[in-house]
């Protein structure tokens, strides 16, 4: 057994929440979107049923759909939150607009440490590398596990699509550059676990993604 990925689809934005774990039973929670009680129970029951020890909480970026469960996860599992430093104002801003989306019970959360390009995240016997891929949001990061060719990609690259760039801090050219320089330089058989929708691969998107059809 190597790196395992468990996916949940949470909240009205259909956001993908991920739990990464390996044979040591340590785990990392990425982008917890749980907001309803039953979603919190689903996440908790999975972690308990596998006897996982939650070691870290990471946000790829801090749009509301990816951080709704931050406060719950921090409290429930007594775990530290890590984000990219540029993303901190995005996280702070969520409480100012959460009610606009109907999330009147939103609980604020603050980061405990920061992750930058090239940092290594240790999960049990596994090491994941942090890549900085701005454009969808200014401080977006992804996690790459070279050994199993798994990329936890957030909202940068989707199956036949890319992250939207019309939200505050978004920039289309920056996003396209990030995809070409940081993601399309990875091997074709890397599996991308996206922040929404189904998994894809680097090779498939290089050949088929209409947004990335820039000849290089």
The region of 88-96, 102-110, 177-185, 191-199 touching Zn ion under the rule CB under 5 A is 191-199
In the complex, minimum distance from the CB of residue 170 to Zn ion, in angstroms, rounded to a whole number: 9
- Asked whether position 195 contacts Zn ion by CB under 5 A, the answer is yes
Among 155, 157, 179, 212, binds Zn ion (CB under 5 A): 155
Q: Is residue 140 near Zn ion by the rule CB under 5 A? A: no
> Which stretch, 49-57, 99-107, 109-117, 188-196, contacts Zn ion (CB under 5 A)?
188-196
Interhelix angle for 37-49 vs 70-77, to 10°?
A: 40
Closest CB to Zn ion among residues 3, 62: 62
Query: Residue 103's closest CA among 61, 67, 59, 154?
Result: 67
Given the complex with Zn ion, which of 82 and 137 has the nearer CB atom?
137
By CB under 5 A, tell whether 63 contacts Zn ion: yes
Name 195's Cβ contacts closer than 8 Å, sequence gap at least 6: 15, 16, 31, 60, 65, 66, 153, 154, 155, 158, 163
d(CA 143, CA 57): 13
Residues 103 and 68: beta-carbon distance below 8 Å: yes
Structure-token pair, residue 38: 């039953």
Chain centroid, CA 189 distance in Å: 20
Q: Which range of residues in 56-64, 77-85, 89-97, 98-106 is near Zn ion by CB under 5 A?
A: 56-64
> Which residue, 139 or 195, has its beta carbon nearer to Zn ion?
195
Note the residues at the interface with Zn ion (CB under 5 A): 63, 65, 155, 195
């Amino acid at each position: 057994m190597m790196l395992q990925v468990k996916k949940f689809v949470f909240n009205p934005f259909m956001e993908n929440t991920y739990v990464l774990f390996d044979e040591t039973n340590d785990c990392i929670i990425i982008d917890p979107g749980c907001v309803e009680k039953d979603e919190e129970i689903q996440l908790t029951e999975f972690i308990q049923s596998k006897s996982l020890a939650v070691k870290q909480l990471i946000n790829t970026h801090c749009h509301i759909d990816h951080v709704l469960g931050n406060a719950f996860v921090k409290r429930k599992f007594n775990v530290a939150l890590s984000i990219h430093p540029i993303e901190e104002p995005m996280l702070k801003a969520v409480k100012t607009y959460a009610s606009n989306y109907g999330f009147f019970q939103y609980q604020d959360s603050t980061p405990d440490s920061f992750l930058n390009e090239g940092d290594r995240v240790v999960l049990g016997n596994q090491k994941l590398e942090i890549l900085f891929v701005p454009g969808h949001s200014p401080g977006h990061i992804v996690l790459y596990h070279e050994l199993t060719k798994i990329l936890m990609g957030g909202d940068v690259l989707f199956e036949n699509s890319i992250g939207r760039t019309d939200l505050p801090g978004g920039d289309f050219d920056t996003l396209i550059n990030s995809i070409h320089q940081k993601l399309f330089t990875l091997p074709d058989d890397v599996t991308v676990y996206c922040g929404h929708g189904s998994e894809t691969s680097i090779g498939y998107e290089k050949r088929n993604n209409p947004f990335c059809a820039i000849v290089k």
